[in-house]
Structure 1
Amino acid sequence: MMSQITLISFFKYKGFANKWQAFTRMGMPPIKLKKVDGLTFFKPLGTGSGNGFSIKPDFSTYGFVTVFNTEEQAKKFVASAAMLHYKKKAANFSLVYMKTVKSHGEWSKQNPFKSSVNFNKTKPLAVITRATIKPQLAHKFWKYVPSVSKSMDAYKALVFSKGIGEFPLLMQATFSLWTSADAMMNYAYQNPSHAEMVKKTRELKWYSEELFARFEPYKIEGNLIPNFL
């Protein structure tokens, strides 16, 4: 039985030439759905500065999300020339292999993540939240982001977090890694800043498209993200 694998990858670059090459590759990625065996979804991603949840971009860090039908296909891709384009001039990188626990909503008019493992609140958890912000409400959305970003710094159970996006200001996503699902839920439901953000989201309806997905991370390669698994 095939088990879908989601691979999220981050690459950090040093030096203007390497950063510029990585930036220009956003518009001309070497990865194509039709050319990569088993690849069903791909999105190149820029990132935000600080812990990632910032209106200011991080021009040193880029990444992408890929979804494969099987783990073997994901591993084959990691060893491919397409991946080498990203790795070869990166100062640091990390690849996180994940299986979907649950996903709802849409990303580019589809839900690419298929559930394959059961929810276990004691296991490590990865979360992707993604949204297209209505242009007329973008200023209100970004008004509330700094308080949420700052509130995450105090959570020791948060292993890694990064704001990611396909298009500045309007097409935004977040990726976070937690020591357990319990820890993530404690933050989501007990943190006042996050609760206020959720409340405003419901009141103002500032997204034209949104997705929330939970994953079980089971393998981390590279040294950009702490390997806590």
Structure 2
Amino acid sequence: MAVSDPVGVFNPHKPLIVTFTLLRYPARGWYPAFANMGRWVMQPFRAEGLQFQKMMGCGRNFGLIPDLSAYVFLGVWTDEKAARLFFESDRWKTLCKSTKEVGTLYMNPLRSHGAWDGQNPFEGPEPSRSTGFPVAVLTRATLRLAALPDFWRHIPQARQRLKAYADDLLLAIGVGEKPFTQQCTISVWKDEKTIDQFAYRQSGHKEVVRLTRERRWYSEELFARFAVVGSEGTFSGKPLLSGTAL
């Protein structure tokens, strides 16, 4: 399975590789897909070089309604070889057997801060560079129960703000580990300059950041940026980095 890399080659100086895989199952095949996710919860993957992993469900339009046909696997690997060997393994092929589509991003961490289950899985020995690569932004948080109504009330506005940057946004997906309380988003942008404009100059986004601090929405949070050094497969009938959003 070849990697489509329109912007460069894998960074040989940064061994840590993060993969973000989207799996789409047929609408009528949601039950086997859901069962596969349950099996992962009971028995996470064991693979050489796999340092951290998460299997997550997708929400429709960043909202509360789950999309039972779509799931995400996030893996942090010691190097590219370890990731590729795993994706050729029997257990992974079994998981993908009934899928309609599978698409994977290959990424090098740029920087990150915060914690995910008490650790920062994206810290590596050497920071990568984003020059020439699309840049992915991952945010994840565990929400305090008292903050749930306030948090979810702001989601439609956040979705509208992203739409204003549609020309520079290659991918935007909302996922979660647990319904309502453990949420994660990933967005892929053409470059870091556009991300900074959205994050630091967009008044609505800055307001939400302020609210998260003042109202203590999160009991744990992590923010990370990655250079997207490769991609393969499709999602929603299109190449992975072509404006896909859930």
Tell me the TM-score normalised to structure 1 length.
0.91
The one-letter amino acid of 1:174's match is T
The one-letter amino acid of 1:112's match is P
Identify the residue that residue 16 of structure 2 maps to in structure 1: 4
**2:113 is aligned with 1:104:** yes
The one-letter amino acid of 1:86's match is L
Structure 2 Cα separation of the partners of residues 86 and 197 of structure 1: 37
Please, which runs of 5 or more residues in structure 2 have no aligned partner? 1-12
Structure 1 Cα separation of the partners of residues 79 and 142 of structure 2: 29
Structure 2 Cα separation of the partners of residues 153 and 107 of structure 1: 28
Q: CA deviation at 1:221?
A: 0.9
The one-letter amino acid of 1:47's match is C
Structure 1 residue aligned with 2:54, among 43, 49, 69? 43
**2:164 is aligned with 1:150:** no
Greater mean deviation of Cα atoms: 180-189 or 109-118 = 109-118
Greater mean deviation of Cα atoms: 20-29 or 199-208 = 20-29
The residue matched to 1:151 in structure 2 has which SS? helix
Structure 2 residue aligned with 1:82, among 73, 81, 91? 91
Q: CA deviation at 1:114?
A: 2.1
Please, which runs of 5 or more residues in structure 1 have no aligned partner? none
Q: CA deviation at 1:88?
A: 1.6
Q: CA-to-partner distance for each residue in 1:127-168, whole Å, 9 max, x for gaps?
A: 110000001111111011110012111211110010111000
Verify the 8 A CA contact 2:25 2:98 in the aligned structure 1: yes
Identify the residue that residue 174 of structure 1 maps to in structure 2: 185
Q: CA-to-partner distance for each residue in 1:82-115, whole Å, 9 max, x for gaps?
A: 2213322111121111111111110011111124
Q: CA deviation at 1:227?
A: 4.0
Identify the residue that residue 5 of structure 2 maps to in structure 1: none
The one-letter amino acid of 1:159's match is L
Identify the residue that residue 24 of structure 1 maps to in structure 2: 35
Structure 1 Cα separation of the partners of residues 195 and 95 of structure 2: 30
Identify the residue that residue 128 of structure 1 maps to in structure 2: 138
Give the aligned CA root-mean-square deviation in angstroms.
1.8
Structure 1 Cα separation of the partners of residues 112 and 142 of structure 2: 17
Q: CA deviation at 1:192?
A: 2.6
Verify the 8 A CA contact 1:11 1:86 in the aligned structure 2: no
Structure 2 residue aligned with 1:220, among 222, 227, 231? 231
Structure 2 Cα separation of the partners of residues 185 and 86 of structure 1: 37
Q: 1:219 to 1:2 in 2, by over 3 A?
A: closer
The one-letter amino acid of 1:98's match is M
Structure 2 residue aligned with 1:55, among 57, 61, 64? 64
The residue matched to 2:40 in structure 1 has which SS? coil
Verify the 8 A CA contact 1:98 1:218 in the aligned structure 2: yes
The residue matched to 2:142 in structure 1 has which SS? strand
| Percent identical residues | 33
Identify the residue that residue 103 of structure 2 maps to in structure 1: 94
Q: 1:126 to 1:200 in 2, by over 3 A?
A: same
The residue matched to 2:154 in structure 1 has which SS? helix
The residue matched to 2:204 in structure 1 has which SS? helix
